[in-house]
Amino acid sequence: NCHGLGHAIKRKKILCALKKEKADIALLQETHLCDAEHAKLRRAWVGQVYFSSFKSNSRGTAILIHKNVPFIIDKNISDPEGRFILITGSLYGQPITILNIYTPNTDTPAFMSKIITLFNEHCVSFGVVAGDFNCTLNPTQDKSSQVPTTNPRSAKMLNSLTKEMGLIDIWRETNSSSMDYTYYSNVHNTYSRIDYIFIPKSFI
């Protein structure tokens, strides 16, 4: 979650940080860029950019693909509300689906159902659905203190649908007892993990 990429210096810093991490594919949320401004992300190591825009001061998602990654695009579904971007195509001759999400910070199980169902409809083989889900799946492991669960109905829907569709939280699968977080709340003075990467269980 970038919290805005409108400033040229911040864009450069983030792109440089991703390059240093040797990122092949990066999923960004809250880009806060219009359609034309997203083209500015196609710099240096970035060969392909897919995005959804809303307003220059809110939302926005983007998928950046390294210029050396031989991804061939087939379909690009861009949310006009700037909440998600889904792409399908092939990588090294194999089909792949990538869905990048920025979920509302309110309790919206209907949105959660919509995006997971969308991914399931388009994923024919390997796929990744990831991003800022704005909810905690397991309060015991995903929060630093036992305050009320963030957006509980959304979390319940996400848990239910991912299990039903055979998707797995791959970080938790490989870090079963770890406590690590992606967000800090000043209001509750607590850390939580609200960002996830799901893949089909059959690909573990």
> For residue 153, what are the domain limits?
103-204
Asked if residue 148 is part of any domain, the answer here is: yes
Characterize 132-146 residue by residue with b for buried, 16 or more Cβ atoms within 10 angstroms of its Cβ, and e for exposed.
bbbbbbebeebbeee
Contact 103, 154 (CB under 8 A): yes
Best CA proximity match to 60, nearest among 87, 27, 89, 88 = 27
pLDDT of res. 146: 73
- 132 belongs to an annotated ligand binding site: yes
Q: What is the CATH number of the domain that holds 149?
A: 3.60.10.10
Asked if residue 146 is part of any domain, the answer here is: yes
Asked if residue 42 is part of any domain, the answer here is: no
| Type of residue numbered 116 | I
Asked if residue 197 is part of any domain, the answer here is: yes
Asked if residue 57 is part of any domain, the answer here is: no
The pLDDT-based confidence of 140 (bands split at 50, 70, 90) is confident
Task: Give the N- to C-terminal CA distance of the chain in Å, as an integer.
Answer: 26
Asked if residue 178 is part of any domain, the answer here is: yes
The string of pLDDT tens digits covering residues 41-60 is: 998 899 999 999 998 788 99
Count of domains for the chain: 1
Tell me the whole-structure pTM to 2 decimals.
0.94
